[in-house]
A and B are shown apart, each in its own frame.
Chain A
Amino acid sequence: AQSVAQPEDQVNVAEGNPLTVKCTYSVSGNPYLFWYVQYPNRGLQFLLKYITGDNLVKGSYGFEAEFNKSQTSFHLKKPSALVSDSALYFCAVRDGNSGYALNFGKGTSLLVTP
């Protein structure tokens, strides 16, 4: 089965510092990976995806993610964190079955302090 793991429940970063939210994957075949963000009382918003091609993927709101095949990782990054980036972040992998549904990690809560 296709799965992802987010090893950190919470990440704390000072505003202006770079941030990294970690994700590792376990798949058979080529991985199709996604990052979503969730603000309180809202649905998930799509940030970026990796399908194939460049290992550095750029997405919305200044976020990017680095795909590393040898480490089976897909970490989310941003060079300079904002307080408004504080939210819940989910990594997901496309399931080859189930209508190409997504299998999600447990989520990582990002707190950016002023």
Chain B
Amino acid sequence: DAGITQSPRHKVTETGTPVTLRCHQTENHRYMYWYRQDPGHGLRLIHYSYGVKDTDKGEVSDGYSVSRSKTEDFLLTLESATSSQTSVYFCAIRGSGTENQPQHFGDGTRLSIL
């Protein structure tokens, strides 16, 4: 399995609080992605990174920010959580060299916002 660790695995918090999710990789891969998984929607891209300090928005980026200060860590922040952000969040990584390499996923963070 690809070396991807997401933390925390589960979190319950209240509306309006800030939340940060962490993705840590040991593969030294250039590309990292954050997706959210919701029933009936599959997985949707929130943000992605193509290198240290290089990030960009995905399909559903409103209400989320990201940071990547080191190759191995990609952080997803909800500045002020809302109930609509209750979801399962997945981090994925992909090596460079060829854009046809598959992505490999972490085990996810289940986030509940009350």
Binding site for B on A (CB under 8 A): 32, 34, 36, 41-46, 49, 51, 90, 94-95, 98-107
- Which residues of chain B come closer than 8 Å to A34, judged between CB atoms? 102
Shortest Cβ distance from A26 into chain B, in angstroms?
Answer: 15
Residues of B contacting A: mostly: strand
**Contacting pair B58 A90 (CB below 8 A):** no
> Bound state CA distance, A40 and B24, in angstroms?
22
Within the complex, which residue of A49, A98, A99, A104 is in contact with B42, where a contact is CB–CB below 8 Å? A104
Within the complex, which residue of B44, B56, B100, B106 is in contact with A32, where a contact is CB–CB below 8 Å? B100
Interface string of B80-114 (1 = CB under 8 A from A): 00000000001010100001101111111000000
Nearest first, the 8 A-B pairs at minimum CB distance are A43-B105, A104-B42, A46-B102, A44-B105, A99-B48, A100-B99, A104-B43, A106-B42
